[in-house]
Chains A and B, each alone.
Chain A
């Protein structure tokens, strides 16, 4: 069975500083990896995904993520944080086999301080 760990419940960063939200995963075979963002009382908005290819994936709103197979990690990054980036971030994995559901981490609350 696949699993996702987001080791930090809360990440605080000053506006303009780089941010990193950590994610590690466990899955058999090649993983499909996703990052979603959730604003209060809203559904999930897609940020980016890794399927195959270049380990550095660029997504929406200036976010990027680096896939590291040896460390089974898929950390979300942004060079310069904005106050409007404050939200709940979820990492998710889907195995490469026939099972197609997403398994989510527990989420990381990002707060960007002005």
Chain B
């Protein structure tokens, strides 16, 4: 059984650019959530996807968007990058309806630096 894998592990972008981060869910999981973890802070919920549709969103602007694919892999897209977008982006997969019973599996994250 594979865990959650994220790519790339590190990324440097320039302010104003766009970025796409990728996540492959744990085998058997059909729900994916994305979190932003700024330096020295706890992760903040961005949004969750289930059945290829957004299923909950945190306090993030529309320039943060996502996709979930039929194989349950996912992308996080951020447009018009700002310096404050520099953070570790974490993907977590779970099984819908049982996520709080069986927990969430997190990937190792993508470290995004905006310069």
Contact = CB atoms under 8 A, between A and B. Distances in A.
Interface residues of B, number: 27
Contact of B106 (A36, A49, A99): A36
Interface residues of A, number: 24
B42 A46 contact: no
Interface string B91-115: 0100000011101111111010000
A46 B56 contact: no
B100 A104 contact: no
Interface string A76-114: 000000000000001010100001111111110000000
Contacts of A32: 100
A101 B48 contact: yes
Contacts of A45: 106
A25 interface: no
Interface of A: 4, 32, 34, 36, 41-46, 49, 51, 90, 92, 94, 99-107
Interface of B: 4, 6, 33, 35, 40-45, 48, 55-56, 58, 90, 92, 99-101, 103-109, 111
